[in-house]
Structure 1
Amino acid sequence: MAMTISLIRTLLLYIVIIVAVRLMGKRQISELQTSELVVTLLISDIAAIPMQDTGQPLVSGFIPIAVLVMCEIVVSVLMLKIPKFRRVVCGRPIVVISDGKLIQSEMKRLRMSTEDLGEQLRQRNVFSLDDVAYAIIETNGKLSVIKKPDKETPTAGMMGVALPNTGIETVVISDGILSEFAMKLCNKSPEWIRGILHAKNIRQEDVFIMTANTKGDYNIIPKERGTSL
């Protein structure tokens, strides 16, 4: 009986945490601002208490989580409306390389070693300081890099080559299931897709993946026998 109660409490708290995170918005952990990271850590700690102690009422976990989510929403609105408040909570971006010159004073203020800088540059596919014109540490801790003009990879526009615009490509069928959201993204109808499948003599339920783009290009990968996502 105690095991069942503990399981139910855990599932309820799991649902509450999912709702709370959805209310705060979609971000990856590495993209969380200071206030969002603090709220996320507090919610995990608070939720653990009623999970472990079945004698603790669930309300003691729900109320603090709801308060934290409301606080985060209010703080987010204030940061949106008041730039100075955002700078106080999140700080400001810091330039560590300006016009190709390393700003050592800013790196010391950030307590950022040359090894840390080199690691973040390599994660941006930059392997030499000589290639960097500007490097900025954003408020979420990520490094933004602008290469020197002569070190940039040439684009089709720079070379004067006109490339066809195929638009966005989406997975319109996944494991035999049609995606209405994906069809809207590529501006295609179920009738268009079924017409292609009929012409190819393929049943929808036999399609592993079908992709399509706004231009009308498509690719169909049939299921192998016994294959399912």
Structure 2
Amino acid sequence: MHFPYLDIIIRSVVVYFFMTIALRIFGKKELSQLNTADIILILLISNSVQNAMVGPDTSLIGGLVAALVLFVVNFAIKKLTRNSKTLSNLLLDKPEVLIHDGKLDFKTLSRLDISHDELKEAAREHGLEHLTDVKLAMLEIDGTISIISADQKHLKQTHYKRKHNRKNLQNL
């Protein structure tokens, strides 16, 4: 006995995990602030994987089954990562220390491709003039840079969204 939409379910799960792994490889910094090129990329990816999920079934029910499977898998993954440290470590990024007590972590900054100018911009967004005034700067899992100042009077409720390097976008 063959369930008519089993193929769509399997394909949708495979595409979901492929996209999760691809986003994990390309990093959280790519998600921090969407620009026109990023939105176009997302639209093109969604169009390219749509056929991989539903195959020859272009019916309304086929599309709804694929969407439902994606919602269910996403919900299940969120529940599992919340309850399993091992799975959470495997699937989710961790915050990264960029500056500690005014000292820049050049190795991490290089690996994450974060420029000195981006750090200075983030510091200014938080009301700080110099990077030496930063007690702690972190690249959060959502791509934002949060900053704690050495002088607590500079604390501001702002969020710096990391911008993409323009020259990298021209290569798309």
**Shorter-chain TM-score tier:** 0.5 to 0.7
More helix by share: 2
Match among 66, 70, 73 for residue 71 of structure 1: 73
Show the counterpart of 2:61.
59
Q: Residue 70 of structure 1: CA displacement?
A: 0.6
Partner-residue secondary structure (3-state), 1:145: strand
CA 1:42/1:83 → structure 2, altered by over 3 Å: closer, same or farther? farther
1:108 is aligned, of 107, 110, 129, to 110
Identity of aligned residues (%): 28
Residue in structure 2 matched with residue 129 of structure 1 by the alignment: 131
Q: Please give the TM-score of this superposition, normalised by the length of structure 2.
A: 0.54
Q: Which runs of 5+ in 2 are unaligned?
A: 1-30, 34-41, 52-56, 156-172
**1:112 partner letter:** I
Kindly tell me the number of residue pairs found equivalent between the two proteins.
Answer: 112
RMSD of aligned Cα (Å): 3.2
Gaps of 5+ in 1: 1-28, 32-39, 50-54, 156-229
1:120 corresponds, among 119, 122, 130, to: 122
The structure-2 alpha-carbon separation of the partners of 1:137 and 1:154, relative to structure 1 and needing over 3 Å to count, comes to: closer
Change beyond 3 A, Cα 1:76–1:41: farther
CA distance in 2, matches of 1:61, 1:144: 39
* Deviation of the 1:84 alpha carbon: 2.5
Contact 1:95/1:135, CA 8 A, preserved across alignment? yes
Contact 2:123 2:134 in 1 (8 A): no
Structure showing greater Rg: 1
Q: Which amino acid aligns with 1:59?
A: I
AA matched with 1:109:
R
| Paired residues of 1:132 and 1:145 also in contact (CA < 8 A) | yes
- Residue 152 in 1 paired to residue 152 in 2? yes
